[in-house]
Chain A
Amino acid sequence: MAETLCLSDSDRSSSSDQSVPSRSNNRSLRIAEKERKKNEAEDSFVLALRYFSEVEAGTPVAGNDELDRNLAVVEKVAFSKGLSPEAISVLLEFAMSLRMGTSPCVRVLKCLIPASVVAQQAVVRAVVWLNVSKIPISTQVLFIKWVLTVFDLIDAKDQLRAIYGFIFSFITEENLCPYICHLLYLLTRKENVHLYRVRKLLELQSKLGRQPFLMHLLSLYKVFCPELVTLSIPSRIRSGFKNYISPWKSALAAVQKSNGQQVSSSISAAFTIKEKSISRKRKHCHLDLPALSSVLNKEPQSEQTSRRKMVPLVHLSSFAQMLKDMHRIELPAQMGSLLGSSLALQYLDCVQEESALLRLNFWLGCALHEEFLFCRQTSEEALQFLNNLLSAQHFLQEGFSSSDAFLYKFLNVWDGSLLRPQILGLLSNIPVIPSTQIGRLLFEPLTQLFFTSSMFFKCGLMECLNNMLLKWLTWHSVYALEDDLDISLNSHTSINITLSGFKDSVMELVHFVGRLASLGLQLEGCNTLLLSFILDFYETVCDTFLKFGLPLVVMPPPGVFYPALLATDPVSVDRLAYIMHRYKLNLTSAKSQEKQTEPQQAFHISRHTFRQFNHYLVFMVNCLWNCRMFHANTDMHVREELLHKSNVPQYWTRFDFIHHPAFTGYAVDFHQKCWPGKKDVDVNSIKQSKPWSWYLEYLFNQGFDGLKDFVHSSISRQVTAGDELQDSQQR
């Protein structure tokens, strides 16, 4: 059979080889093939089920390939998708009836993973089989464990309760007893408690000793019928039944997760995302989000509120419901609980109550201070807590003031590695700090951390500061609009103060990052990764005016500009070119706006900034384009003799587009493409006007858009490599 299959396969491939033209045809074939395979799989599963339901008792197991194959099919489906109620019924019946002995029985039991629910009927039948067939004790235990595992998924319990007495009779079996007790504990109703059962349990207790499982069952009996159980139950029996290792639990969880329609989650409240932490150590008591609960202590409130009927937040289960009752939502007893629920965060987003936010901040600040200020190691709970906090802040698009206050303290004791991603995430949410305070609160501790930490921390911090700046600027661009609206209402001066205060803070931050970046690049030997994060930052900085409407342009320090320009990787140079291009656009538009507006209202960008920009631009053009690298009036003062001594031929051309270490590879490649026959590569031949423009075209086609923009905006191409630089300058 295998052979024929092979044949048909090869047939098909050869035929498709011959029928080259229609691709779509080919594709539909593939789809059909997939469909067929899927159907086949389904068919084989149905066949397997049929096999298990119809197989004759006493069929030999040893060497039974059919059984093996069918078992494999069932297992595959069970562990990937879970089994339907019908499949479980069939398989359970097959296993418990011991139609083919015990070994397949165990194997089947182990793969009984329900996809949705388990039919009660099947369980009842299986329990009955317990008595009829001679199932080994270990298998019986396995079965009861399975029932305990899927107990919540059994669709009804009434019939199981009806055979309570029957199940109870297994209690005398010593190995089964703990599990049977657990099952009984789950099934017991008041009417099941009888004196003879109590006696039986007590008798067992005298035989087995004070076993916790017996005590639990007895204590439940005592709850229902205190008069029957006179035994004193110790106040501290270990809570709950032991969580026996069950082979199905993880598979069940996986299947339910992949099915997406979590059966168990529908049982737990959909409202909160609060998860009981695995280990509830007392140490981290502050990290448990309080449960969302309504106010315990309803006191006679003011008339206005008592007239309206309040709806506790806990009772809301959907966004629509929340909208409906928006005006009469009652806040929970503990505001901290809002952090765990997305719906509650929606409400918090529009809540106007001062004290509610203060309560939340008190709780949050206290938790952060108590758990993290002197914390030295990460724990699962700590991580989860901070991630929760971060996602809440993300949702609200701003930080909580208590977490800011905490960070200002924490930065002084932080080692830079503890919970780094989370702390940096929180840090990037810090609101604008006045320039008088920013040094003490932020720069001092961060400087220390930056220079004493690894490269990765440096990169992380750069990213964080970039995000912080982005948030500040975004915040400004949103509220700058409101300023405009308010101009008529308010005196002008206060807004001006606001703006200049904000500008000062932003400037401080940018300068601070500039210092860090310059020194960081030196320390790390101009590491490309670090440089990339730094250029990220300057991509934000160069667009402050056009993108965010903030009349402020700050140039990068030489310590960033030159390493980027002379970097060995083309990407950095390209990004620098892009940044310079954006600077140019920002500066030109700022300048034109400055000319339009009246003098007293005008913002002013200092001449120094323009001069610095021009300076960089001239250098860059000289370097990449004009081959006049060591021209006078540049930052790079290298004495003529020294350059001669270095024996570098034509040293002034070393950093043009052809010889720049980042681009030589491209130049050589271009050369080979341009003159394929030429043996000796003379890249200088590209310098001629025609190949030069082809070469540029070639570079731009490599994806160097930054360079393209830069060349187009800053270099007038009519003058081929000319020395007409005035065009490219601002002033």
Chain B
Amino acid sequence: MDPLSESGMRTPHNGAVVQRRSKTRSYRQSYRSCLGTASRLGLTPALTARRLNASRRAAKPQNVADKVNPEHLALLVKAEWQLSYVTPLYQFRHTQLRSYSRQLAAFIVAEKQQGLAVEVSELHNSYRVSLSVVQGLTESEDDAETVLIQIHSKPMFARQDEPQRSVWSGWLTCVHGSPEYLRSLPKDFTCLPLFGSRGPEYLSRVVKSWFQKTFDCCFGSLEINHTSLQWFAALWTDCHSQSHIQHLRMLWTIPAAPPLQITYTVDHQDAWDLWNSVRKGPTAAVAEDAASIDLEEVTGFLQALKSHFYRHFRLDLSAGTLQQVSTAVGSAKSSGRIKMSNSRHVIATLTLLTECALLKMPI
């Protein structure tokens, strides 16, 4: 009865109640909510609404290149990824990646053959799958190591000697995941809530379904909402001191008839000046170790951009929605596509996205 004594430890006031719960079945959660105590998982799932952090550390220019395999980093950085969230993986072992690779390859072949009466022999070794750990992306000890998945294959009408090419790639990651959440999970679970994929849709589907079958997890699409996009606009602008952002471009849609789409591009220097003006206190000057950025500053920044636009075009952008934010550092779309162009800011971007993904967790 490990979990019970554990919960007793965590919630000392209600030790008695927890004790009594031991008699009831373990999934009885009535008592938890009845008492308003933390559950045995340390979660009070529905009762405490998780929110996006209102304040976060400014993106420190980290030289991830020192920590992360440059090959992996190049792979992460060069492409646009379609994002999903993943519920915690059950009995996932980082030590078993080799055997997972084999299983996944076999699974892909099996899926391809489904519905085919004919066994096509070439299919068998037509896919090579590699799962590997990307060391160095974790930020806290609770984060699980990032896993990179690559699928190589030969094109349909390839010559015999042609080498296999990467046809699909994806990764599962957790950067700066909420420690309360991560610690609340039993140790059978590995939480890698953020999943990015690139490549043909059917392969994404197959990979997802293999993960679902093997680790009993679920995938769902991860949209980047308005607030998160605003955060990206601010975070990336804040990077300007270290890496040139070129411009800050935002795409707005206005619900008018006919629908109006507005591309709003701000020059890098103007954006930087504006950002510095909304930054509170002296922190802006010493951006090197800027403590944190508040949501207030972010909304202030966006408000200033909007009012500037209003002054020129008599059009209030608040009525519309932000669909896309892009700079030379990265771009994010509300549909859940992200591109990280500069390796120095990968961590900051992934931190925010991990947070978004954890918000999507059903419990």
| A interface residues, Cβ below 8 angstroms from B | 216, 219-220, 222-223, 226, 233, 235-236, 239, 286, 290, 293, 296-297, 299, 333-336, 349-355, 357-359, 361-370, 398, 400-402, 404-406, 408, 431-434, 436-437, 441, 475, 479, 482-483, 486, 489-491, 494-495, 497-498, 501-502, 505
Contacts and interface: CB of A to CB of B under 8 A. Distances in A.
B214 interface: yes
B234 to A, nearest CB: 28
A446 to B, nearest CB: 15
Contacts of A353: 26
B87 interface: yes
Interface stretch (B11-19, B67-75, B301-309, B347-355): B11-19
A432 B46 CA distance: 12
Contacts of A479: 24, 31
B362 A365 contact: yes
Interface of B: 3, 13-17, 19-20, 23-31, 33-36, 40-41, 45-47, 87-88, 90-91, 93, 96, 99-100, 103, 112, 115-120, 185-186, 188-189, 212-214, 216-221, 360-363
A235 B185 CA distance: 44
A368 B103 CA distance: 29
Given A286-B218, A405-B46, A437-B47, A398 B103 contact: no
B116 A235 contact: yes
B142 to A, nearest CB: 17
Contacts of B25: 349-350, 352
A431 B26 contact: no
A523 B140 CA distance: 57
Given A398-B30, A483-B20, A501-B34, A233 B118 contact: yes
A556 to B, nearest CB: 25
Contacts of A433: 33-34, 47
B362 A431 contact: no
A223 B117 contact: yes
Nearest to A364: B362
A405 B117 contact: no
15 contacts: A216-B117, A223-B119, A235-B116, A239-B115, A350-B25, A354-B186, A355-B189, A358-B189, A359-B90, A365-B362, A366-B87, A431-B33, A434-B47, A482-B23, A494-B15
A335 B29 contact: no
Contact of B362 (A335, A362, A502): A362
Contacts of B216: 333-336, 359, 362-363
B89 to A, nearest CB: 10
Contacts of A498: 17, 34-35
A482 B213 CA distance: 40
A219 B115 CA distance: 11
Given A362-B363, A369-B360, A486-B19, 13 more contacts: A219-B117, A293-B213, A297-B91, A349-B25, A355-B186, A362-B87, A433-B34, A434-B34, A434-B36, A482-B24, A483-B20, A494-B13, A498-B17
A297 B36 contact: no
B344 to A, nearest CB: 34
A371 B25 CA distance: 29
Nearest to B15: A494
Contacts of A357: 26-27
Contacts of A354: 3, 26, 40-41, 186
A297 B103 contact: yes
Contacts of B41: 354, 358
A280 to B, nearest CB: 13
Contacts of A361: 362-363
Contact of B16 (A236, A400, A486): A486
Contacts of B16: 486, 489-491, 494-495
B33 A290 contact: no
Contacts of B115: 236, 239
A370 B220 contact: yes
Nearest to B184: A358
A585 to B, nearest CB: 28
A398 B26 CA distance: 12
Contacts of A293: 213
Contacts of B45: 401-402, 404-405
B118 A219 contact: yes
B101 to A, nearest CB: 12
Given A299-B96, A359-B90, A406-B362, A366 B218 contact: yes
Contacts of A351: 26
Contacts of A437: 36, 47
A359 B186 CA distance: 11
Nearest to B41: A358
Nearest to A471: B30
A246 to B, nearest CB: 23
Q: Which of B3, B47, B217 has the most CB of A within 10 A?
A: B47
A370 B33 CA distance: 25
A369 B363 CA distance: 11
Contact of A401 (B29, B116, B186, B221): B29
A434 B38 CA distance: 12
Q: Which of B15, B30, B87, B119 has the most CB of A within 10 A?
A: B30
Contacts of B17: 494-495, 498
Nearest to B100: A297
Nearest to B215: A297
Contact of B20 (A236, A355, A490): A490
A219 B33 CA distance: 59
B363 A402 contact: yes
A236 B17 CA distance: 60
B362 A402 contact: yes
Contacts of B14: 494
A432 B213 contact: no
A233 to B, nearest CB: 5
A482 B363 CA distance: 29
A346 to B, nearest CB: 13
Contacts of A405: 45-46, 362-363
B212 A334 contact: yes
B19 A431 contact: no
Q: Which of B25, B47, B115, B362 has the most CB of A within 10 A?
A: B362
A339 to B, nearest CB: 13
A494 B116 CA distance: 64
A479 B35 CA distance: 14
B50 to A, nearest CB: 11
Contact of A220 (B3, B93, B99, B117): B117
Contacts of B28: 398
Contact of B33 (A216, A355, A434): A434
A432 B33 contact: yes
B20 A482 contact: yes
Contact of B30 (A233, A431, A494): A431
Contacts of A222: 117-118
B93 A441 contact: no
Contacts of A406: 362
B93 A475 contact: no
B24 A369 contact: no
A539 to B, nearest CB: 23
A216 to B, nearest CB: 7
Nearest to B20: A486
A293 B107 CA distance: 15
Contacts of B116: 219, 233, 235
B336 to A, nearest CB: 13
A355 B26 contact: no
B213 A290 contact: yes
Contacts of B360: 369
B98 to A, nearest CB: 12
A163 to B, nearest CB: 23
A355 B90 contact: yes
B214 A401 contact: no
Contacts of B90: 355, 359
Contacts of A402: 45, 362-363
Contact of B220 (A233, A369, A436, A483): A369
A344 to B, nearest CB: 14
A505 to B, nearest CB: 7
Contacts of B99: 297
